[in-house]
Amino acid sequence: MSEERLYQPDFSSIFGKEFSNAFLYGQIDSLVWPIFTDLEKSDTLKNLLKLKDNEGRGYFYHRNISLDDEKIELNCSNIDLALIQALELGREYGIPNSNVVATVKKEPNLFRAVLSFNISQISDSLSELKSLEKEVNVVGIVFYPSYTKSEIITDNRPFDDFLEYCRNKDYFIKIDIGNLMLPKNYPEFTSYIKIKSFLSKHPENIVILSGLDISGDFNLYYQLVKLYNNVWIEIDPRSIGGMTPTDCFKELFSIKGFIQNCWHRILIGSATPTLEISQMVRGFLEATEDLAFSQKCILRTWGFRNGNRLNSSIFSIENIDLKQFETIIKIDNPYVLESENEVNLIYNIKLRSFSITQLIFLTQLIKEVLSDSLNKFPNLQNGEFFIRTYHTTTSLIVNEHEFGNYLDMHYMFAEITRKDSSKSLHTVRALENRADFNPLDHQIATTYGHKQLNLPIIKRNLEIGSRENFYILVTFGPRVFQLYIQIKLLK
């Protein structure tokens, strides 16, 4: 059991209900080339592997591994899924989509397809894509503009139609910056200016920048993550640039603001059979070990899982009941007390947490309960909204719901409650015949937040600040707990 799982936030208020519990989803290797000794290779792929430089060294380094070897490597690294990627260059060498399709078909539960098309010949690509997606689970598209001499900023209507189709299908767009060391590379086609213009023109497509070199162009292109919310970054062996994977990740994490900007928008790929995924995972774990608790937890939670949010078909959780990880279990119909001057509606609400310490977002629940009460009495305008938590290890928190602020608060509370309590006097062993060792949970509930809140209702709205949102801090969990809400409406 990993520490980050024990103290994970409820991510539903950031990513939606389906991602409330990140650990329902498997970890992903986002870049694997379909090159295995026991799978047939196309002539185009054979030519790529034969390609040598002037000194007789192969341009495309690869280990001789079988499909079974790859499955062992993924299993060793606790990786549940791999994205198999094509390399369509419009040359006599490359990795055609047919090799990707053949590999994914061999292990459809383990692999997903990332297809490749030449932008210069995009008019014929949409029909090919529609045909291939009938054969395998396609999750994204990759372009190599610097090798195909393709303009990504163009008035090419078929290209725009292709991107729109991908957007409607939730296919991500991966743009390879071109650090593959293959001959005939034209980096001006993936310049910072052109990528920036492309992002400005297509803000609704998820765009992944791949193949960045930490020793070279990484810091330049990383700026785009801060400018555009649709930009993701893929870290693969080309990013390492002469370092160990551990040192590469440490270098990345030391960049000011990188973790804050990128924890939810990074992908990590091994480029197998170039490098083992186990080496990437080991480097990642070693590099996160000495980070602050919050950064360590958030990276280890999402670093290899971010890809799940790119496309709903990447990782299936059809057999898992998501309702068990919804924080609201039951809202009883209100008990109504009505007098000559006012109406009181009393709600008892059962909720749950699903980690040891959890800060649960309540704003939406509060809005729904208020709306329910006002709908029952549409002519009443003003009153009071009272909310109370019963439990001595819970408290109500009012603060801004920017997701970074929410996560900072959550991990701050989690870090306090995980401190050593072995010297405390708190125990109920003698009274209740059980060990109790949670003095910090009681102290944090007393120190932070409130046991109850009373909020004014003016003209059928809560009279609160524009940034004010509501949470309940729940410790010593996972647990089921209750809230009491009373809404007073004045006649």
Of 282, 309, 336, at which residue does a domain stop? 309
Count up the domains in the chain and report the number.
2
Of 274, 309, 344, at which residue does a domain stop? 309
Same domain, 82 and 206: yes
Sequence-distant (≥ 6) Cβ neighbours of residue 461 within 8 angstroms: none
Same domain, 214 and 347: no
Q: Determine, yes or no, domain membership for 66.
A: yes
User: Which pLDDT score is estimated for 458?
Assistant: 97
Same domain, 304 and 326: no
Closest by Cα among 319, 387, 315 to 29 = 315
User: Which pLDDT score is estimated for 430?
Assistant: 62
Of 288, 309, 330, at which residue does a domain stop? 309
User: Which pLDDT score is estimated for 426?
Assistant: 86
Which CATH number goes with the domain that contains 224? 3.20.20.140
How many Å apart are CA 390 and CA 490, to the nearest integer? Answer: 26
Cβ-contact 394, 482 below 8 angstroms:
no
Q: Determine, yes or no, domain membership for 4.
A: no
Closest by Cα among 382, 397, 336, 366 to 485 = 366
Q: Determine, yes or no, domain membership for 12.
A: no
Same domain, 382 and 425: yes
Same domain, 275 and 386: no
Same domain, 147 and 272: yes
Same domain, 382 and 289: no
Closest by Cα among 308, 240, 236 to 270 = 236
Q: Determine, yes or no, domain membership for 397.
A: yes
Same domain, 403 and 301: no
List the chain pLDDT tens, one digit each, 491 residues. 578 999 999 999 999 999 999 999 999 999 999 999 999 999 999 999 999 988 888 899 999 999 999 999 999 999 999 999 999 999 999 999 999 999 999 999 999 999 999 998 898 899 999 999 999 999 999 999 999 999 999 888 999 999 999 999 999 999 999 999 899 999 999 999 999 999 999 999 999 999 999 988 999 999 999 999 999 999 999 998 789 999 999 999 999 999 999 999 999 999 999 999 999 999 999 999 999 999 999 999 999 999 999 987 787 777 778 888 999 999 999 999 999 999 999 999 999 999 999 999 999 999 999 999 999 999 999 999 999 999 999 999 999 999 999 999 999 999 999 999 988 888 777 677 777 889 999 999 999 999 999 999 999 999 999 999 999 999 999 999 999 999 999 99
Which CATH number goes with the domain that contains 333? 2.60.120.460
Same domain, 240 and 335: no
Same domain, 286 and 225: yes
Same domain, 289 and 162: yes
Same domain, 96 and 146: yes
Q: Determine, yes or no, domain membership for 316.
A: no
In sequence order, what are the beta bridge partners of 358?
A: 474
Q: Determine, yes or no, domain membership for 338.
A: yes
User: Which pLDDT score is estimated for 234?
Assistant: 98
How many Å apart are CA 266 and CA 208, to the nearest integer? Answer: 9
Residue 148 is part of which domain span? 26-309
Q: In what order do the strands lie in the sheet with 28-32?
A: 28-32, 81-85, 111-116, 138-143, 172-176, 207-210, 231-235, 266-268
Q: Determine, yes or no, domain membership for 329.
A: yes
Q: Determine, yes or no, domain membership for 440.
A: yes
